[in-house]
Amino acid sequence: MSISASQVKELRERTGAGMMECKKALVETDGDMDAAIEHLRKSGLAKADKKSDRVAAEGTVVMAESGDSAVLVEINCETDFVAKDDNFRSFADEVAGLALTVDDVDALNEATTEGGQTVAEAAKQLIAKLGENMQVRRMAKLSAEGGTMGGYIHGGRIGVLVALEGGDEELARDLAMHIAALNPAYRDVEDVPSDVIDSEKQILVAQAEDSGKPPEIIEKMVTGRLNKRLAEITLTGQPFVKDSDQTVGKLLKSKGASIKGFVRLEVGEGIEKEEADFAAEVMQQAKGG
């Protein structure tokens, strides 16, 4: 049967699918609009399943706040281009809002969106529409519990939340920016696990022993270097990024504040990325492969 341009336009507006896909769906369903919508939905989910094994190491980190609590969510896609797409951004913002109501990513993927779908279902439809694998990878919540909450998103790729006892919002935000820049592993020396300290000490002892200095000198060398290393990996020991003449610990003391906790998410952390061989891709396309 003949399919009109207005039918194709309506189906495209209702589904977001491409013009050719819409026309094909209408032809296969004899112009039945509802059947065509269902056909595109099933086709899209099938395409999404085929993309599920592709590495998604780009994306965004989004933040949502409610009262003295906040959450960060990392949502991945395959390319930076899609990460900037308005549809992807809108999806990410909605998911961040839903994350405030759940405790983990599994529950988040089962949460219901405004469209009546689960987050997982909405993600699959977006995969079909944008043509890339996506995943709601992880989330991190933090509560100031009556204290001060600060948050910072850097370029959509790094997100930080900081909870303070005392202080103010400006201090909390400054510290969030500091954490985004210097990425401390621990809050203070007391938070560093003993096995991490022992490992660092063993490395430093081995290095110092190679110097051939006496044992008492080696001990002083190791102690000094260990303290320096611990300062590098702890938030309170690091020089404050906006004033390197003072450490974060001294800054907090001057403001009558203390760190209750912090979280930091960076897009793609821990994901092994595939190295693209663009020359090989061009050669394959040139050969019609």
Query: What's the token pair of residue 168?
Result: 């103010």
CA 134 to each of CA 29, 56, 208: distance values in angstroms, whole numbers, following the listed order: 29, 6, 48
Residue 23 contacts residue 46 (beta carbons within 8 Å): no
pLDDT given at position 131: 83
pLDDT given at position 35: 85
What phi, psi does 183 have (nearest 5°)? 50, 60
Residue 74 contacts residue 145 (beta carbons within 8 Å): no
Q: What is the mean pLDDT of residues 213-223?
A: 83
Q: What is the residue-averaged pLDDT of the chain?
A: 88
Helix (H) or strand (E) holding 43: helix 33-51
3-state secondary structure (DSSP) of residue 288: coil
Residue 236 has pLDDT above 50, yes or no: yes
pLDDT given at position 46: 44
Write the pLDDT tens digit of every residue in 134-144.
Answer: 999 999 999 99
Asked if CATH classification 1.10.8.10 holds for the domain at 5-51, the reply, yes or no, is yes
Q: What is the residue extent of each domain of the chain?
A: 5-51, 56-143
* pLDDT above 70 coverage of the chain, percent: 88
Same topology, domains 5-51 and 56-143? Answer is no
- Report pTM: 0.76
Q: What is the mean pLDDT of residues 236-240?
A: 97
Residue 266 — pLDDT band, cuts 50, 70, 90? very high
Residue 205 — pLDDT band, cuts 50, 70, 90? confident
Residue 255 has pLDDT above 50, yes or no: yes
Q: What is the mean pLDDT of residues 179-203?
A: 94
pLDDT given at position 70: 97
Q: Which residue has the higher pLDDT, 150 or 35?
A: 150
Which of the four CATH numbers 2.60.120.10, 3.40.718.10, 3.40.50.410, 3.30.479.20 does domain 56-143 have? 3.30.479.20
Query: Alpha-carbon dihedral of residues 23, 28, 29, 30, nearest 10 degrees?
Result: 80
Locus of tokens 């589904």: 15
* pLDDT above 90 coverage of the chain, percent: 60
Residue 41 — pLDDT band, cuts 50, 70, 90? low
